Amino acid sequence: MTDFKTELAGVAHAVEQALAQHLPRPAGDHAVVTKAMRYAALGGGKRLRPFLLVEAARMLGGDTDGALLAGCALECIHVYSLIHDDLPCMDDDDLRRGKPTVHKAYDEAIAVLAGDGLLTHAFALMADARVHPDPALRLRLVAELAAASGTDGMIGGQVTDITVAEDARDTALITRLQAMKTGALIRFATKAGGLIAAAEPHDLMALDRYASALGLAFQIQDDILDVEGDMETVGKAVGKDANLGKATFVSTLGLDGAKQKARELGQTAGAALAPYGEKAQTLLGTVDFVLERRH
Amino acid sequence: MTDFKTELAGVAHAVEQALAQHLPRPAGDHAVVTKAMRYAALGGGKRLRPFLLVEAARMLGGDTDGALLAGCALECIHVYSLIHDDLPCMDDDDLRRGKPTVHKAYDEAIAVLAGDGLLTHAFALMADARVHPDPALRLRLVAELAAASGTDGMIGGQVTDITVAEDARDTALITRLQAMKTGALIRFATKAGGLIAAAEPHDLMALDRYASALGLAFQIQDDILDVEGDMETVGKAVGKDANLGKATFVSTLGLDGAKQKARELGQTAGAALAPYGEKAQTLLGTVDFVLERRH
């Protein structure tokens, strides 16, 4: 676990540096929006999605520099979704990663536009020649990213989350919701890493089984933390979902049931990568990290 | 002009049909967002940007079916920008194209997400093999679209428009603002049409001189109409900019000065395409259409 945390911190540091380099720099009459984009994207976060992308590429012997830049594109999508989800008309959150959300630090209009800017910039980065020398491969990454983050993926999941009544949510619904809202980008992460590493179809299938199980385990652990965590550790309002009477994996499965389900998913994720032996060590460590995390 | 209007209406009809075919269809728990996307994108609009894209490709002998799909991608960007610009935290408009804006017909959260969905889908469409058989060319279109619609283009222009104080606006500033807010997508339209038609560098330069002049003429005419138009004809609140004391080309150049400037730009646009003779007829007709339009 020590090696794993060193690796995770190392990639997070590299993502931070690469984002600082590849995000637009504040200049011109519109500098406030690029400032807001950098405020939201820099200075924190686990960088789990780029980490998975880089480590999937590494496991299969791919170019990790290209994977890192693709990871930055993916992180831009993740950060834009946080900015828009935090807006008053959606979750109305004042804090994110322990600092004021973009619409609090700036204003609502700049938050909408900074999100739009990051979403747009994600595709500019993914099209960059430094991601991979083959333009056809980069085009495939663009198309896959659009699919994973669009209405059949992340956006659709967010829409379901804000529109489906709590009393209409059972385990099946919140499983579908998670698969779209957070699962799609996590699956994209490992697929993109695989594609950059010229993965064979059976490799992509193994990565997808791993990422699907990991993504769901991550969400279940989030729901468990929401009940068990304390304010100081997680850095955001705790018990919020439960207080709002929100259906979660804990409310539909019970706390013990949720923990059992998370463990089973961890085993499924591990089994998917068993054929890769030592090379899968970091991705397998991610499963333990997700299940044991406290924030 | 009769031929021109027939051509414009024909492309608008084709864009409408293609958008209806290529936008996501309402399905699943999140159907409301795809309904909102179709509500905003279908049923109206001049479709000027896709028209310019298709006609630039046609002038140079390119594939107009591919150009039409690229035009749909571009229109998705334009429509998303209208949805977000209409939000209460930005221009707070209740009507668009004579019907309630998305946040009025649905709600603010769905308007933000429908805009995000259209922005994301634009890149999915531009990556589609039916745009052009060469993936490297499609990737270039993706990168150019991201640049034109990002913080150094359309988004930057909108940020300038909502943040720079009215008394700090002179002709130079509102010219820069227009070049980004509306000019960048209009220039992209003709460039994309040119690229699909395998344009030579000198063709791309001629198209860019044309589009830059046309885009600015369009904005100046918009400002003139804002003063001269009447409510019924333009279908939105008229005199709004003037009533708000907003700096426009009419306020900085005077009404006669603005008309003179628009005529000069029309001549510049026409001169840029003079070498193409008869083949440029429709694009030249667009200049007259822009300068003579009443809505």
Closest residue in A to B106 (Cα) is A163
CA distance B224 to B262: 10
Of the candidates A14, A105, A196, A123, the residue with the CA atom closest to the CA atom of residue B120: A123
Instruction: Give tens-digit pLDDT for A30-78.
Output: 999 999 999 999 998 899 999 999 999 999 999 999 999 999 999 999 9
Measured between beta carbons, the chain B residues lying within 8 angstroms of A180 are 30
Confidence of residue B101 (pLDDT cuts 50, 70, 90): very high
Instruction: Give tens-digit pLDDT for B109-133.
Output: 999 999 999 999 999 999 999 999 9
- Of all residues in chain A, the percent with pLDDT exceeding 70 is 94
Of the candidates B35, B53, B12, B83, the residue with the CA atom closest to the CA atom of residue B192: B53
Q: Which of residues 156-215 of B touch A (CB under 8 A)?
A: 156-160, 162-164, 173, 176-177, 180
CB contact under 8 Å between A155 and B120, yes or no, is yes
Measured between beta carbons, the chain A residues lying within 8 angstroms of B147 are 124
Measured between beta carbons, the chain B residues lying within 8 angstroms of A37 are 151
Confidence of residue A294 (pLDDT cuts 50, 70, 90): confident
Closest residue in A to B122 (Cα) is A146
Q: What average pLDDT does chain B have?
A: 94
Contact A160, A176 (CB under 8 A): yes
Q: Which of residues 52-111 of B touch A (CB under 8 A)?
A: 80, 84, 87, 89-90, 107-110
Residue A131 has pLDDT above 90, yes or no: yes
Q: What sign does the dihedral A270-A275-A276-A278 (CA atoms) show?
A: positive
Q: What's the pLDDT at A228?
A: 86
Instruction: Give tens-digit pLDDT for B67-100.
Output: 999 999 999 999 999 999 999 999 999 999 889 9
Helix, strand counts (H, E) of chain B: 16, 2
Amino acid at site A293: R
Length of chain B: 295
Measured between beta carbons, the chain A residues lying within 8 angstroms of B164 are 29
Closest residue in B to A168 (Cα) is B29
Q: What's the pLDDT at B252?
A: 94
- Which of A175-184, A228-237, B274-283 is the least confident region? A228-237
CA distance to A32, A51, A183, B90, B173, per residue, from A28 (Å):
9, 33, 38, 20, 11
Instruction: Give tens-digit pLDDT for A194-220.
Output: 999 999 999 999 999 999 999 999 999
Instruction: Give tens-digit pLDDT for A225-282.
Output: 988 875 555 555 555 655 557 789 999 999 999 999 999 999 999 999 999 999 999 9
CA distance B87 to A89: 11
User: Domain A2-292 is of which CATH architecture?
Assistant: Orthogonal Bundle (1.10)
